[in-house]
């Protein structure tokens, strides 16, 4: 971390820019805009947004884990135990919804669990 609090880049120009934008990011008006953006985007759209620019990535940093979890979860399911899934459901509302969707998709039409 440098004097501007930037961990992602060592670029002085980028860190100065982030230091100047920090008050804007913290403003209530900007936070409301952020909420509106996040309400309408899918996890895939969120991934595209954070990969657009360093500013977008920094702006959405605190939402990264919860918003990308639904994209990663299907890749992890084959390696998780049922206890892991139950424990992860307790982490957050978003995690619970993502796991519930995976479990619902895993159910067969007759209501029984499919086999893997």
- The DSSP 8-state label assigned to residue 69 in this structure reads H
Contact present, 8 and 57 (Cβ < 8 Å): yes
pLDDT tens per residue, range 63-87:
887 788 888 888 888 898 889 888 8
- Strand partners of residue 107: 113
Q: Which residue shows structure tokens 């982030």?
A: 18
Range with the lowest mean pLDDT among 26-35, 77-86, 92-101?
26-35
**pLDDT for residue 2:** 43
pLDDT exceeding 70 applies to what percent of the chain?
71
Q: What is the mean pLDDT of residues 31-47?
A: 83
Domain ranges of the chain: 12-64, 69-106
Residues 27, 31, 37, CA angle at the centre, nearest 5°?
150
Question: How many whole angstroms separate alpha carbon 100 and alpha carbon 116?
Answer: 17
Residue 53, classed as helix, strand or coil, is coil
> For the chain, how many helices (H) and strands (E)?
7, 0
């Amino acid at each position: 971390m440098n004097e501007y609090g930037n961990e992602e880049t060592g670029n002085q120009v980028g860190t100065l820019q982030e230091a100047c934008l920090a008050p804007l990011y913290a403003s209530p008006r900007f936070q409301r805009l952020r909420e509106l953006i996040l309400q309408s985007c899918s996890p895939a759209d969120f991934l595209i947004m954070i990969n657009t620019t360093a500013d977008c990535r920094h702006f959405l940093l605190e939402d990264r884990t919860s918003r990308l979890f639904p994209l990663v979860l299907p890749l992890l399911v084959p390696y998780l135990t049922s206890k892991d899934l139950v424990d992860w459901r307790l982490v957050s509302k978003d995690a619970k919804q993502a796991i519930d969707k995976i479990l619902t998709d895993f159910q067969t039409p007759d209501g029984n669990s499919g086999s893997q």
